[in-house]
A and B are shown apart, each in its own frame.
Chain A
């Protein structure tokens, strides 16, 4: 096979061209891979396109990679000139084979800034590289850089449109443009979620993918409760199918925490302070309201969003109830996974602290809350009604708010009664006592040694961390 320098030269240039032509022939390529093939087959290109998959035969990689690598380095050292088109082609080939080669991404950053490349193209290249190297840190880092470019572009466009409005352009045109921007951004957001999800499925506990997903939400959807809710409910099935994926559960914890913080804001500040609304995704986009309807699981948000930020504590309690319920369910179904137990710790810790803060608030302005509940019972969500109702029936207490203000210890032991699987009745808000009885129920009927160990550790954690706090 091609061993002499000239031969390698010819071969590599042909292969680079073949790769670029494959992308031209099929713009929908969605996966790259290496085909195990130790020997070159006579006179055939090592680049194979099957369906939407691009394959490189393994024999040619050892020629290809060092060659394009050296060529790019020589260019960087100003020892060898490459025109822009050649740079685009070479970095593309190089990054598909080795996406952690920072210099190549940096060359592309320059190309992007000079307008030779458009950001979408680089997001696409990164997406393909991730199908083979789902963790590649440099690819994720570059991706965030590209997204920042896009965001900057958007905010610049938003500002020019505002100026134009001041100059007398019709408001309608302005609204149209901002909606277009919003749609584009929502699409980008959706695409990022998809890329992260694919990478997370390819590689267990893919920390890089999940932290990218958090970054994207923080930069593109902050304050948009709807997006966070959608994420939380779409992640439900994913975590149920990946019960040992720490990073996936950590993402869920992030979502929960952000939602609680966001929903608690009207509780802690009586004045209608403007949320740190996303400067990017307009929460007034038309999809916001129509889609919220479809999300039946957590319809309580709507009330929060629409009714001038009414106290949304019922939604918060519902979130906690559902999360603890999910966690119990998974622990029962899949014994012996530490991830589930540490998730439970996190959720309960979050709940514990939120409740203490809320108690603090309710002692100052609790009457207002009671008043609200009296006047508009429709605001109460199913979750709180059932919680309160069950509390009432057993120990004769009054309102939902009252029931929540008292310490969890006074909640009746409903855990022992069979939990209803109908889905209408939610369990009671979590409480220290219910956690203890959950642990003892696990210890009673489980012989899996790992599961017992985790249950005992959780019990000890409750004793030392939660139990000792006032």
Chain B
């Protein structure tokens, strides 16, 4: 089980603003990491934008990684990833991207905890306009590495009762978050989180979309 990214965002009127993020991409191939990190940031922001205030959701995220894996790793191993999101009533939000083995409940405990701590340490005036360089909150990396082993993190049993799992919305694809007529391709090409290399790469990967390619 693995946590790949943990990010804190502010959900604005039209778009989400990334405030701080931590990544653990050690399990990806070295040359993939920068693109994967960009896609994770992109995905986290998109999910926050499409999740309503005061709600929790888990989104199965397969499409992007299928593409990445197929084209870079040429790998038939298609692991599913889950993005867990919590958007609070005050629009402060957090997203954790994990594999399917990682217990969902622990993810939401982590999100609660991180947001509470963050809102205590960072003034809410800075939320709408802050960015990872200006925001002074250092604990994210520590939380991410501590929670890699959910049994060592404190949460395994504690919050079990408090969290009503039936209230978590489950989306089976990223597409189900999109509005009618909206296309992931367009969102990718418009995104400011993705560099030119990642975009070009997404485009070619999407075009090929075949498994017979040599690499």
Q: For the complex formed, measure the closest distance between the CB of B200 and the CB atoms of chain A, giving whole angstroms.
A: 6
| Residues of A contacting B146 in the complex (Cβ-Cβ under 8 angstroms) | none
A433 contacts B by Cβ under 8 Å: no
Contact: A50 with B204, CB < 8 Å? no
Known: A36-B72, A53-B30, A53-B31. A204 touches B214 (CB 8 A): no
Contact: A204 with B30, CB < 8 Å? no
Contact: A204 with B27, CB < 8 Å? no
Contact for B29 among A33, A244, A333, CB less than 8 A? A33
Contact: A34 with B31, CB < 8 Å? yes
Known: A203-B77, A243-B101. A31 touches B214 (CB 8 A): no
| Residues of A contacting B71 in the complex (Cβ-Cβ under 8 angstroms) | 36
Q: For the complex formed, measure the closest distance between the CB of B46 and the CB atoms of chain A, giving whole angstroms.
A: 21
- Say which size band chain B's interface belongs to: 20 to 34
| Cα-based distance from A240 to B149 in the complex (angstroms) | 9
B13 contacts A by Cβ under 8 Å: no
B1 contacts A by Cβ under 8 Å: yes
Known: A240-B151, A333-B156. A38 touches B77 (CB 8 A): no
| Cα-based distance from A334 to B200 in the complex (angstroms) | 40
| Residues of B contacting A337 in the complex (Cβ-Cβ under 8 angstroms) | 101
| Residues of B contacting A243 in the complex (Cβ-Cβ under 8 angstroms) | 1, 101
| Residues of A contacting B79 in the complex (Cβ-Cβ under 8 angstroms) | 204
B103 contacts A by Cβ under 8 Å: yes
Contact: B197 with A36, CB < 8 Å? yes
| Residues of A contacting B214 in the complex (Cβ-Cβ under 8 angstroms) | 61-62, 65, 98
| Residues of B contacting A74 in the complex (Cβ-Cβ under 8 angstroms) | none
Interface centre among A31, A35, A97 (most CB of B within 10 A): A35
Known: A204-B79, A333-B151. A36 touches B35 (CB 8 A): yes
A58 contacts B by Cβ under 8 Å: yes
Interface centre among B31, B75, B103 (most CB of A within 10 A): B31
30 contacts between A and B (CB under 8 A): A31-B29, A31-B30, A33-B29, A33-B31, A33-B32, A33-B72, A34-B215, A35-B31, A36-B31, A36-B35, A36-B72, A38-B204, A51-B30, A53-B30, A55-B31, A58-B215, A61-B214, A62-B214, A65-B215, A131-B29, A201-B27, A202-B27, A241-B148, A241-B149, A242-B1, A243-B101, A244-B101, A333-B151, A334-B103, A337-B101
Q: State the A residues within 8 Å of B (CB).
A: 31, 33-38, 50-51, 53, 55, 58, 61-62, 65, 97-98, 131-132, 201-204, 240-244, 333-334, 337
